[in-house]
Amino acid sequence: MEVARIPILQIENYLVASIQTALHDKAAIQFRDDLLERIYATKARGLILDLTAVDVVDSFLARLTGDIAEMASLMGTTVVITGLQPEVAITLVELGVELRGVTTALNLEKGIAALRKMVEKESSNGTIG
C-alpha cells in the first residue's frame, strides 16, 4: 500500500505544509522525512506547519509535531505552527509536548506575517545566512 504524501508548497524562501487528513504512523514518518529533505534541498528560511484541519492528535503525532519543529529549527529554519484547534492544543499540553522556539498563530495569514517578521529580524541580526 502506497503512503499518501502531504503537499509541501514553497512561497518565496518559506515552505508551507498543511495537513488536511488524519495521518497514520507510516504516513506521518514519511511526511517528516519529506519535509526535512525539502528544507535541506531548498535551504528554506521558514516553515509553516498548518494544522487547521487537524482536530484530533494521538500521542505519536503530537510527539512527531514537536520533533519536526525541533529538527527544522536545528537545520536553521524558523518554524511557525498555525491553526491549532483547542482540542489539539489541550492534547499537546497534556502529553507534555514542548514546542520550544516555535511561534504559533491562529491562521495561515497571521502565520506568514509572523514568519516574515521573524526571518527579517534574524536576517538583520545576522543569525540566518
11: β partners: 14
Average confidence (pLDDT) over 49-69: 90
> What is the pLDDT, as a whole number, of residue 33?
97
Indicate the pLDDT class of residue 108, thresholds 50, 70 and 90.
very high
2 within some domain: no
Domain span at residue 94? 8-124
85 within some domain: yes
Average confidence (pLDDT) over 117-125: 84
Indicate the pLDDT class of residue 121, thresholds 50, 70 and 90.
confident
82 within some domain: yes
Number of domains in the chain: 1
CATH number of 101's domain: 3.30.750.24
3 within some domain: no
129 within some domain: no
Instruction: Measure the CA–CA gap between 94 and 18, rounded to whole angstroms.
Output: 23
Residue 81 burial (C-beta neighbours within 10 Å; 0-12, 13-18, 19+): buried
> What is the pLDDT, as a whole number, of residue 1?
55
> What is the pLDDT, as a whole number, of residue 73?
93
Instruction: Measure the CA–CA gap between 56 and 75, rounded to whole angstroms.
Output: 28
